[in-house]
Amino acid sequence: MVTRRTLALSMLALASPIRRVAGSAAAAAAVFAPPGRPPPGARKFTSAAIESAIADVRRHIADPKLAVLFENCFPNTLDTTVETGQLDGKPDSFIITGDIDALWLRDSAAQVWPYLPYVAQDERLRTLFRGLIHRQARSILIDPYANAFMKDPAARTSLSWAQSDLTEMKPGVAERKWEVDSLCYPIRLARGYLAATGDREPFDAEWREAMRFVVRTFREQQRIGGPGPYHFQRNTEVPTDTLAAGGFGNPSRATGLIHSAFRPSDDACTYPFLVPANHFAVVSLRQLAKLAPETGLAPELAAEATRLAAEVATALEAHGLMRDSQGNSVWAYEVDGFGNSLFMDDANVPSLLSLPYLGAVSARDPRYVRTRRDVWSQRNPFFFKGSAAEGIGGPHAGPRLIWPISIIMRALTSDDDAEISRCLRTLAATDAGTGFMHEAFDQDDPSRFTRSWFAWANSLFGELILDLARRKPALLSGVFS
């Protein structure tokens, strides 16, 4: 059976070595990071504000390789993954992940997130965001337990690996893996868009009903009175692509935490309470409550979101922590409520590393500092260190394969100039001459990589450069000089 995982690994096997030559920085940039954008006439979407931002930021990047990577990666979502139009008389934006022709709630929101600082300057860009907010609301109303959706709301899945799944597959659903973060990202996007524009147009009755579905689904998956309606099984040789216990997942004890069947990597949870996803849910529920006055959400729903956030936050403190080798508390990656816990981290966001990025904890919080130290170390079984790079991967791609997302996230959550500079150097040295970020690359040989077209990683890299341009411009103007 062809799956998302086997598709990525087959691409890894086919990736050919990249020729390396010596010479000046400019020559290296020409070899390693060729201009990779489609010609203007072939781009899916163009924003004057984004084009202006690319030109402005690039002038401040001293290293030519880094500059070309930014120019390629930052607009990649717009250049290659966006299809806009109208659906039911409203703007509609369908945004695929890259080489998989489906919309993931998580990926689509993350892919456009770096464009928010420019959305107030560009009406076409605002329309794209309105269309995506509408599309995500429609998708949630089709099935709040699904992670990915088809462009045609009446179509059956075109994903070969999902066509025989044993679950309640509905028209319009591409894949039905229940992941807590799938319902968090649309709230994050809505909050960011409203803060950037003050535009209330996308927040109509359909969006408000979708938010009611979000809160209801989180409540169901606290599993206070039973397992709830969701179950999922797949006929597969990959254990992390299916759920145990008749499709309901490994057992958990009701604690107030939200049960997640799958991680943001689309891999099955070992213990069903995914701690970083529950942190994200707390942030998102509180954001949803604060959106109520401007979006017309019922006060009762806002109050319920606030109560639920408080319950999950309390449960995280009671059940989401474990001890490091010195006996100090750190955040677990997963727990089950029975006292069992798993320490690891996965590159996909929400992760333990990403907690400050998502607004869940302070980067200076002692428990986060200890957790961060341990996830970027051999204590994390998915931390890989080789001759080319070090970073975090995950079961989805497998041993030795580092995800650039983890290196980008390390820089985004750091205030240390030396640490950020190391991350930039690593990212610039491991694109395998393509001019883009990938899903994952081999720790010793970056020319062996998965997914040459993975828009989330490209967008996040663009976000990092924009963040540094505002926060630490000196690193961009001189980091490689």
The beta-strand segments (E) located in 393-432 are: 401-402
**Separation in Å, CA 128 to CA 99, 119, 410, 459:** 21, 9, 29, 16
Both tokens of residue 440? Answer: 């994952």
| Contact (Cβ atoms closer than 8 angstroms) between residue 133 and residue 84 | no
Backbone angles phi, psi at 446, to 5 degrees: -65, -15
pLDDT category of residue 3 using cuts at 50, 70 and 90: low
* Per-residue pLDDT at 7: 53
pLDDT per residue as tens digits for the range 205-263: 999 999 999 999 999 999 999 999 999 999 999 999 999 999 999 999 999 999 999 99
pLDDT category of residue 478 using cuts at 50, 70 and 90: confident
- Domain extent for 140: 4-478
Quick check: pTM over 0.75? yes
> CA-CA-CA-CA torsion for 202, 204, 208, 209, nearest 10 degrees?
-120
Is the Cα dihedral 226, 229, 235, 237 positive or negative?
Answer: negative
Identify any residues that bridge with 454 across adjacent strands, giving them in sequence order.
Answer: 98
Cα distance between residue 157 and residue 150, in whole Å: 7
- Counting the structural domains of the chain, the total is 1
Pick the closest to residue 331 from 346, 343, 318 (CA basis).
343
- Return the DSSP state at 398: -
The beta-strand segments (E) located in 242-372 are: 273-274, 321-323, 329-331, 334-335, 341-342
Q: CA 277, 150, 170: angle at the middle one, nearest 5?
A: 80
Helix (H) or strand (E) holding 450: strand 449-450
- Mean of the pLDDT values across residues 136-159? 98
Burial label for 26, CB within 10 Å (0-12, 13-18, 19+), is exposed
Q: Write the CATH number for 150.
A: 1.50.10.10
pLDDT per residue as tens digits for the range 293-337: 999 999 999 999 999 999 999 999 999 999 999 999 999 999 999
Identify any residues that bridge with 86 across adjacent strands, giving them in sequence order.
Answer: 91
pLDDT per residue as tens digits for the range 82-133: 999 999 999 999 999 999 999 999 999 999 999 999 999 999 999 999 999 9
pLDDT per residue as tens digits for the range 58-72: 999 999 999 999 999
Average pLDDT, the chain: 93
Scan for tokens 């797949």, then name that residue: 234
The beta-strand segments (E) located in 10-150 are: 82-87, 90-95, 103-104, 148-149
